[in-house]
Structure 1
């Protein structure tokens, strides 16, 4: 199995300036009884057939990606698919929990996806949906993709917190799940590392990357090793970098090139 990223990112130089369309929409969540802001980036010169859901990290919001990685708009124009950045709350981890204010899995799966595909006429099938994100959002992307392979054909994570259990006192997770020592089963059920058994052969194209100086580098390496052990095909990329926007704004180039290849491959097999 080849786990090293096999594609090469091509940095094209355009002869003229192009500007993707950036919308900020309000999506009402019935489950949480609140409106959730979402950035939608659309290619300027063509109708998007595919969509990448791009999730922010802990303490972030819907505007983080478009503000901190400004080349995102150029990449959308280059590849011709839409990017959707929902607000995942300060510390949701994109889970459903007992707290009515934290039903973000339901929001993503049952409310956001139908809204986006209806409003923007994007193809409503798994072959044209991908999901990735950074840090908390990297965990959220893989968590949602593993649990909903009927909806996603490709998934990724950049610097993702792919195993939450080594960090039992961080990022408000015990407020959502209870303390780790008293609620181990809940933590196991809500961490990507313990959901790999859900991945069905050939169902997901996966790309995981992390900076070598990142505090999540260890758990990403362990996930890579576990996927290898289970013979789950995936691409894994380790680059110099810390847990910051210097790294994430570089990694998005590789992430979006990967999803472009996924969408092109899926389209050819349709």
Structure 2
């Protein structure tokens, strides 16, 4: 059942379908406003299913038997494509395998990660026969998965064959373990070692891909999508870096793990179970303690950052955990509803509520019967690609006004650069309606540097909190503005003569 946000059309959001599902699961219902939360029975089932002996009734995005290929001392070369895939941007390429015309597998190392990881590429048909440039889709795997999952289990090579785009599928965990949750870990002193997944993917992999493949290296030609834990990752990266991606999609993902009360409970339980049961590390290694480090959870949680997604093409698919068209009801593995799909169903609907409240459009396919399994994610991808191709064809322009919030001390987005001067290491601050005419900054003090929107080396008249002042643009045409605490209103009123 396709459902659009109220920004696009009126929908029913009373949550009755989820309530019926949870009754079938046997969960103890906890009333939380209009929606019912998952009870102990569903949580207990979840904790059983996110162990290394997880049953096939929920795939968890896993290829449990796969392992990372051994690193070679130097990159293998053979043709123009492979020869171009060399080390740079913080990545050391140690192995390249051109499997066929489209499929390329690599092993890469980075100082941001404790060990080499895999990277799988799908090139467009005819890539080597032309000098054409292509848009890029970053496609993320789920828990216990790896870079090859979408090809080996999700039919990605066949599904993407008719679409002229480069598909990039990186590892998001070590050796197909429980995964890194697409973040730079708070605890770097675990048995797994250094785990700066966001830095690796965003600051190293994206520029490396743009440097070594014929991409259209701009936001309007770059998208991100993922399944399960990778669905969270896709929405988290998109919400933290909206200037990089024009479209984001979640297939049975968990786009709220920290905003709604039941999402906080489920998020802590799911992440903790995966960390201890599959990764063998302390439960709060990625995001920190859910209470003491709550702001870090919120600062990576798509539902808390939903305002950053305004203007992006947002697509979500999720089932209700009951048997659908791909299950044999005689199979005993499918005798009970799937608690994991029920949980991501809850998380997805909570994200939709947050988007509704923020006035951020999205399209949700709440398709009813369906378990946490690959046939559904392959179908989701096949449905997403035609829409994504249309978004790429639109070549959307940069928004005229920017809203953005972050917990980081320093951040940059859309050409704006912010350096906060606050005492807490993490706290929300942000830009509101930022444009060439000015901006509102929340939760200073901070120094804000604008994009290069002004005449270089020119003095401009400003009003900061109602007081007149001046600022001189640098050689690139940027203005530097210091703001105090609270809510600071800055208006650029024009340049001075001379």
TM-score, normalising length: structure 1: 0.86
- Superposed, 1:9-88 pairs within 5 Å as 21-32=102-113, 34-46=115-127, 47=132, 49-70=134-155, 72-88=156-172
2:224–2:234 contact (8 Å) kept in structure 1: yes
CA distance in 2, matches of 1:123, 1:190: 27
Partner of 1:162: 255
**CA deviation after TM superposition for structure 1 residue 167, in Å:** 3.1
The answer for the alignment partner of 1:124 in structure 2 is 217
Alpha-carbon spacing, 1:3–1:28, altered in 2? closer, same or farther (3 Å): farther
Question: In structure 1, how many angstroms separate the alpha carbons of the residues matched to 2:317 and 2:9?
Answer: 11
CA drift of 1:78 comes to: 0.7
Once the two structures are superposed, what CA deviation does each residue of 1:187-242 show, in whole Å capped at 9, x if it has no partner?
2223222111333x42x111111112222101101211221221111111111311
3-state SS of 2:224 partner: strand
Does the CA contact (< 8 Å) of 2:154 and 2:375 recur in 1?
no
| Aligned mate of 1:187, from 289, 297, 314 | 297
The answer to whether the 8 Å contact 1:20/1:73 transfers is no
Are 1:94 and 2:171 counterparts?
no
- Go from structure 1 to structure 2 and tell me whether the alpha carbon gap of 1:178 and 1:20 turns closer, same or farther (over 3 Å shift): same
Shift, 1:248, TM fit:
1.1
- Say if 1:146 and 1:195, in contact at 8 Å, map to a contact too: yes
- Max Rg structure: 2
CA distance in 1, matches of 2:345, 2:160: 28
Show the 5 A alignment for 1:102-113: 102-113=195-206
Instruction: Please give the alpha-carbon distance, in whole angstroms, between the structure 1 residues aligned to 2:147 and 2:207.
Output: 18
1:146 equivalenced with 2:239 (yes/no): yes
Bigger mean CA offset, 35-44 vs 124-133: 35-44
**Helix, strand or coil at the partner of 1:187:** helix
Contact 1:3 1:236 in 2 (8 A): no
Contact 2:184–2:286, Cα closer than 8 Å, also in 1 = no
1:253 offset after TM fit, Å?
0.7
Whether the aligned pair in 1 keeps the contact of 2:184 and 2:196 (CA below 8 Å) is: yes
Q: Per-residue displacement from partner, 1:78-130 (whole Å, max 9, x unpaired)?
A: 11111110000032111012316221111111111111122212111111100
By how many angstroms is 1:67 displaced?
Answer: 0.4
In the alignment of these two chains, the number of paired residues is 252
CA shift, 1:132, in A, is 0.6
Secondary structure of the equivalent of 2:152?
A: helix
Say if 1:48 and 1:80, in contact at 8 Å, map to a contact too.
no
Matches of 2:194 and 2:396 in 1, distance apart?
37
Contact persistence 1:48–1:82 (CA under 8 A): no
Q: Which runs of 5+ in 2 are unaligned?
A: 1-6, 11-99, 258-263, 276-282, 322-340, 399-498
Question: Higher helix fraction: Structure 1 or Structure 2?
Answer: 1
Per chain length, whose mean CA-contact separation is higher, i.e. which structure has more relative contact order (CA < 8 Å, sep 6+)? 1
Further displaced range: 156-165 or 20-29: 20-29
Matching residue of 1:197? 307
After superposition, where does 1:230-245 map in structure 2 within 5 Å? 230-239=358-367, 240-245=369-374
Please give the secondary structure, in 1, of the residue aligned with 2:361. coil
Residue in structure 2 matched with residue 137 of structure 1 by the alignment: 230
- After superposition, the Cα gap between the structure-2 partners of 1:268 and 1:111, relative to the gap in structure 1 and judged at 3 Å, is closer
Question: In 1, distance between residues paired with 2:381 and 2:224?
Answer: 12
User: Match for residue 11 of structure 1?
Assistant: none
Matches within 5 A, 1:243-254: 243-254=372-383
Q: Residue in 2 aligned with 1:177?
A: 287
Over aligned residue pairs, what C-alpha RMSD do you find?
Answer: 2.2
Question: Equivalents in 1 of 2:210, 2:9: separation in Å?
Answer: 32
Report the alpha carbon displacement of residue 50 of structure 1 after superposing the two structures with TM: 0.4
Runs of 4+ in 1 over 6 A off after TM superposition: none
In the alignment, the residues of structure 2 paired with residue 223 and residue 268 of structure 1 have an alpha-carbon distance, to the nearest angstrom, of: 26
Shift of 1:45: 2.1
| Aligned ranges 1:209-228 → 2 under 5 Å | 209-213=317-321, 214-215=341-342, 216-228=344-356
Matched residue, 2:28:
none
Q: Which runs of 5+ in 1 are unaligned?
A: 5-18
Provide the C-alpha distance between the structure 2 equivalents of 1:137 and 1:108, rounded to a whole number of angstroms: 13
